[in-house]
Amino acid sequence: MPAATRPRRCRWWCSPFGKEPLRLKPTVSSFRAASGAELPAEAVSLRLVDTVPAVGHMDPEKQLRRWPDVLRDLPADGFELTPGEARALWLTVQAPSDATPGQYEAQVTLTAEDGTQFPLPVRLVVHQLLLPPPSE
């Protein structure tokens, strides 16, 4: 993929030497395509990836570690990021069956309690195919 069209990788760093936790509230915008097509923000859900203590089956030392495992609904007031901790968000987009194929862009914004905002661009490609409905 040419560098000009390659998605930009975003990283957000907090100092591991900080002493105070940081409360962040994420929001997501609508996804918009250059054609004018839109996937509304209501079609997007953000969840927090939580971890569980487990021993990795490939870990020769058999040490207990925290592994990403559980998707949790985000509390209304956001989530806390403590110094030295990394957190992941899971983004799910329910594109309708009649969505226009193409590349869409949106923004996830993390807002701190002091009002500081950290915008993160997100790119989504809707393909021209339709999956059958899940069987019950």
Q: How confident is the model at residue 136 (pLDDT cuts 50, 70, 90)?
A: low
Residues 6 or more apart whose Cβ sits within 8 Å of residue 30:
38, 39, 40, 41, 106
For 78-134, the pLDDT digits (tens) are 998 887 777 889 999 999 889 999 999 999 999 988 898 889 999 999 999 888 888
pLDDT, one tens digit per residue, over 1-17 is 444 455 445 455 555 55
Q: How many residues does the chain have?
A: 136
Whole-structure pTM value: 0.73
The SS3 assignment for 10 reads: coil
Categorize the per-residue pLDDT at 18 as very low, low, confident or very high, splitting at 50, 70 and 90.
Answer: low
In this structure, which amino acid lies at residue 12? W
Dig out the tokens for 10 from the structure: 């975003």
The CATH number, out of the four listed (2.40.160, 2.60.120, 3.40.50, 2.60.40), of the domain defined by the range 22-126: 2.60.40
Cβ-proximal residues to 125 (8 Å cutoff; 6+ apart), any chain: 102, 103, 104
- In the predicted model, is pLDDT for residue 42 greater than 60? yes
Task: Give the residue from 75, 91, 71, 73 showing the smallest Cα distance to 23.
Answer: 75
